[in-house]
Amino acid sequence: MSEITASDIILPTGGPNRRTVLAGTVALAVATSLRAVPAGAAAPAVEASHDFDFLVGTWRVSHRQLKRRLAGETEWISFDGSSTLRKILGGLGNIDENEVRKPDVTYIGVTLRLYDPAKRSWSIYWMDSRSPSGDIGIALVGSFENGIGTFFSDETFEGKPIKVRYIWNATNPDRPHWQQAFSPDAGKTWEVNWVCEFTRAA
């Protein structure tokens, strides 16, 4: 899935834990690696596969999230979290684990990013601690230009079709910035509903 419902997920008692989430994600990544790089072949050296190198490591994350989405809301909530990212697939992908600590709930999320050298684009998938199943949902697809990464997907929110957009601003790699926005009108207008500011921890 994208992050449409992740903010509403409660980490269930006795339910899937971090290892369960990561085990399923890594298994998927390995399978993808076997398809992308045949046996005996070296992964292609593609400069754009380094787009997310700025995010490798551990970060403190300051979140601001719109209280309600596509509802004319103006109230924001603030909370903290953490994120740790490492490369996979010989540099053609990466995976991060995120702890999101909202005022009333805490949940774990995992992002899987895969780079397509032929298309020179990234596909971004989101999974969460509530339902780490084999269905990893719809990818947001896009690329970077001049330190700005823009990614889009077509999804459904509250039964209606929307477009989802992620923007990564890595022009200052020591203080990267991420935002999520929804569009109910095929991209004519956008409502930013989630903003993250990253500060390196390790």
The tens digit of pLDDT for each residue in 12-63 reads: 334 444 444 444 444 444 344 334 444 444 444 447 899 999 999 999 999 9
Are 57 and 200 in contact, with CB atoms under 8 Å apart? yes
**Using alpha carbons only, what angle is made at residue 86 by residues 117 and 26, rounded to the nearest 5 degrees?**
80
Predicted pLDDT of residue 134: 64
Residue whose pair of structure tokens reads 């339910």 in the numeric block: 15
The tens digit of pLDDT for each residue in 101-144 reads: 999 999 999 999 999 999 999 999 998 887 766 677 899 999 99
Predicted pLDDT of residue 132: 66
Q: Check: pTM over 0.75? Answer yes or no.
A: yes
Q: Is the model's pLDDT at 68 over the cut of 60?
A: yes
The CATH superfamily label for domain 6-36+46-200 reads Calycin beta-barrel core domain (2.40.128.20)
Question: Which DSSP letter does residue 184 get?
Answer: S
Q: Can you give the residue ranges of every domain in the chain?
A: 6-36+46-200
Predicted pLDDT of residue 33: 39
- Structure-token pair, residue 188: 């004519």
Contacts of 90 (CB under 8 A, 6+ apart): 33, 37, 42, 43
